[in-house]
Amino acid sequence: MALESLRAGTPVIISRNSGVAEAIANLLTVDFWDVNDIADKMLAVVNDGVLARELRERTSEELRDLRLGVDEPARLTSETYAAAVD
Amino acid sequence: MDVCFYFQLHQPKRVRRYQVFDIGSGGDYFDEAKNRDTLRGVAERCYVPAVEILTRLSQGEGARVSMSISGVLVEQMKAYAPKALAGIQALVQSGGAELLSETSHHSLSSLRNNDEFADQVRLHRDLMKRTFGVEPKVFRNTELIVSDALMPVVAALGFDAMMVEGADTILGWRSPNFVYGSKSAPALRLLPRNYRLSDDVAFRFTARDWSEWPLTADKYAAWIAANPGDVVNVFMDFETLGEHQHADSGIFDFLRALPAALKRNGVRMVTPSELATRKPVALLSFPGAMSWADTERDVSAWLGNGLQHAAHERLYALRDSVLGTRDLALIATWRDLSTSDHFYYMSTKWHADGDVHTYFSPYATPYDAYISYMNVMRDLEQRIAKIARGLKTRDARPKTQDPRPKTQDPRPKTHKPRAKTQSAAKAKAKTKAAKRKK
């Protein structure tokens, strides 16, 4: 869901514990239970065009370089196991 | 061969996580607990032990270094680390360290507003006089930011010399190991940093994958001695000593052994004001703004993305109105918000230099830094507007005797510039150049 939104050019606010937050840096991350923080960031991105534009542009750069799918994780897992066995 | 050591001491007043709900609460922008704890920690690990070592080296070995200390740090030291401040005062008064000038708030004002830049330089000069009893003659701008446009301003403020980055793009085939002059302000001497030898200590000292690790004082002194030229300028953050390079890395042992090793290798320790009296070997030009930061050596660490530009513009848009309030506390707060670190934390350089930015930042992301800062700006704007409305109402009242005490002029006292006139300096530089040709 988050990735689809990012691909559509929508700035995303996400829990800092979510998996996507590990892969994409240009996100607004929040503590899931901190409603004030969530509200603060929602208002910031809605009211501040510079912030929204920056998030869109930086995310789009990141997505260009991001390799999604199972191939890359599989390759990395295989390499890690191989290194551990050696 | 001579060597000139310069150390920068600075700690910002970090802005707390300031949310939209805090706007209108009126102030309290800074994370006092974090700033206090950070400063006390750095004082214990770095400022106190390193200054003690330098004091002993100055008394025993005649070692001399130079340093500049931001006004923001001096004020915080007075409150939270007086022992560290007393140590620096003793070191300066004993002649072990020459103090340099900079902007009081470690700001980027030189890139934005020359009046504010001059005001902050004067504020710093006054603070150095009051705190250490000295008036610096050599200038060092925030993060070594320098440009052709800035040099005449620095010269007009009365400085003899200025530290600059010895960037390859500026020096070309020339060596950083000489005293240069400025093309845009010929009376001003330029002291270029030897970034290779500086970074050997500042960044590579603990790098175990570096072919030269471990770096010993004798090895380093021999490298300096073997460098062609007149003087090697080694400039770095003072926090390198014990904070960025921890005590268990051997950095203090390195420091203790260095003056004797330099002597053995025939290297003399000199100060920037001694170098300022030397003849320049050539004139340098810095067409665009340069700094000592990141791999680019430009100002993109602070003004490299839209967030940083927007925040910086918003701050400076408030200058006239904040000075107009004549509220000294509010003006000081505004200047605390001009510290370059606030913009550094907003950097989105994730790759290459990103790690360095993250290391220094108190925020989870650059976006958190930006959102807090802009919320602070909104609160500050409201406070300024409120004071301005009060002043307007007061001025509109019929003139009666004002029972309140007169407010002080928020601007620092002006100093008569010591710089020579441009034409006299030009003529002198021409004569020197002609002599060199001969």
Span B243-254, mean pLDDT?
96
Q: Do A50 and B307 touch (CB under 8 A)?
A: yes
Check pLDDT > 60 for residue B25. Answer: yes
Catalytic-residue membership of B143:
yes
In tens, the pLDDT along B185-198 reads 999 999 999 999 99
Chain A residues with beta carbon closer than 8 angstroms to that of B365:
25, 27-29
Q: How confident is the model at residue B409 (pLDDT cuts 50, 70, 90)?
A: low
| Range scoring the smallest mean pLDDT among B333-342, B346-355, B411-420 | B411-420
Check pLDDT > 90 for residue A61. Answer: no
Q: Shortest CA distance to B31 belongs to which of B377, B376, B385, B378?
A: B376
Q: Which of A54, A59, A63 to mutate to test the interface with B (most CBs of B within 10 A)?
A: A54
Chain A residues with beta carbon closer than 8 angstroms to that of B375:
40, 44
Of the candidates A16, A25, A48, which has its C-beta nearest B350's C-beta? Answer: A25
Q: Which of B371, B372, B374 to mutate to test the interface with A (most CBs of A within 10 A)?
A: B371
Asked if residue B98 lies in contact with residue B271, where contact means CB atoms within 8 angstroms, the answer is: yes
The residue among B396 and B162 whose pLDDT is bigger is: B162
Q: Do B19 and A28 touch (CB under 8 A)?
A: no
CB under 8 Å to B210, separation ≥6 — which residues?
B204
Locate the chain B residue with the closest alpha carbon to A37. Answer: B19
Of the candidates B19, B310, B370, which has its C-beta nearest A36's C-beta? Answer: B19
In tens, the pLDDT along B148-172 reads 999 999 999 999 999 999 999 999 9
Our CA-based measurement puts residue A56 at a distance from the nearest CA of chain B, in whole angstroms, of 12
Q: What is the pLDDT of residue B256?
A: 98
Bond from prior residue into B214 cis (ω within 30 degrees of 0):
yes
Q: Do B374 and A44 touch (CB under 8 A)?
A: yes
The residue among B364 and B157 whose pLDDT is bigger is: B157
Q: Do A40 and B374 touch (CB under 8 A)?
A: no
Check pLDDT > 60 for residue A23. Answer: yes
In tens, the pLDDT along B65-95 reads 999 999 999 999 999 999 999 999 999 999 9
pTM for this prediction: 0.87
Q: How confident is the model at residue B430 (pLDDT cuts 50, 70, 90)?
A: low
Chain A residues with beta carbon closer than 8 angstroms to that of B310:
50
Q: Shortest CA distance to B243 belongs to which of B386, B49, B385, B111?
A: B49
In tens, the pLDDT along B266-291 reads 999 999 999 999 999 999 999 999 99
Of the candidates B307, B365, B374, which has its C-beta nearest A29's C-beta? Answer: B365
Angle between helices B306-317 and A49-65 (to 10 degrees): 160
Asked if residue A37 lies in contact with residue A81, where contact means CB atoms within 8 angstroms, the answer is: no
Span B415-431, mean pLDDT?
48
Instruction: List b or e across B243-259, with b for residues whose CB sees 16 or more CB atoms inside 10 angstroms.
Output: bbbeeeebbbebbbbbb
